Amino acid sequence: MNEIKKGSTVPEPTLRRLPWYLAFLKMAAARGEIRISSTQISRAINVSAPQIAKDLSFLEISGKTRIGYDVQSLISVLEEYLGFTKIRKAFLFGVGNLGAALLHDKGLSQFGLEILAGFDVNPRVVGTTIQGVPVYHIKDYPGIQAKIDASIGILTVPVREAQKVAEEIIQGGIRAIWNFTPFRIHVPEDIVVQNTSIYAHLAVMYNRMEAKL
């Protein structure tokens, strides 16, 4: 069993590349490959072999020179290291367009995220169930949180509500916020915020398209 460094802060670029390696390794495993070298990974996914070796060095799994990594072991270690094997309880705040969309994404549970409830104020969604996930009024959050103790809050409320709702849910016990709003929320130091603005990615893509015309 490989020992995994707990509580270490790995550089974000490394953490973002590790899932690429994982995806590639799963494909290699499906093709029946037993061992793989960082050079082979490099050729397939356009990251330099030394960079891959350096990224994987955080895992404390060793690739043997000339022999490479054991594919199945590397998959297991990566999945555990990335936190995809542990299930974390989450609530989703703001069942609008993007919020409802995320409730439809069953893929999230394969990456360790279990959304147990949605919260909103809109009477058209409160009381409904989306893909098996019940949607409650936000006023019921403290009581439900006291029972379920979810650690992650997915924030998909309108921009103008982002700060207020962030404060409320932290008050109730949420310890990490996955913020899909384009608003930069302010939180206490012990709270984790992960910003994911998919619309900002659109802006980057549009700009690159214009530049290539």
Contact positions with a second copy (CB under 8 A) in 6-35:
6-10, 12, 15-16, 18-20, 22-24, 26-27, 30
For residues 66 and 208, which CB has a smaller minimum distance to a second copy in the complex?
208
Interface pick for a second copy out of 1, 97, 123, 124 (rule CB under 8 A): 97
For residues 66 and 212, which CB has a smaller minimum distance to a second copy in the complex?
212
For residues 82 and 135, which CB has a smaller minimum distance to a second copy in the complex?
82
In the complex, what is the shortest distance from the CB of residue 54 to a second copy, in angstroms, rounded to a whole number? Answer: 17
Q: Which of residues 146-175 bind a second copy (CB under 8 A)?
A: 151-152, 159-160, 175
Whether the CA torsion 108, 195, 142, 87 is positive or negative: it is: positive
Quickly list H helices, 82-161: 97-104, 141-148
Beta bridge partners, 213, equal none
Q: Which of residues 98-157 bind a second copy (CB under 8 A)?
A: 98, 100-102, 104-108, 111-113, 151-152
In the complex, what is the shortest distance from the CB of residue 206 to a second copy, in angstroms, rounded to a whole number? Answer: 3
| Residue 49 to residues 25, 43, 44, 56, 142, Cα–Cα distance (Å) | 15, 8, 11, 11, 49
Quickly list H helices, 141-183: 141-148, 162-172
In the complex, what is the shortest distance from the CB of residue 191 to a second copy, in angstroms, rounded to a whole number? Answer: 8
| Residue 8 to residues 12, 74, 83, 174, Cα–Cα distance (Å) | 12, 19, 13, 22
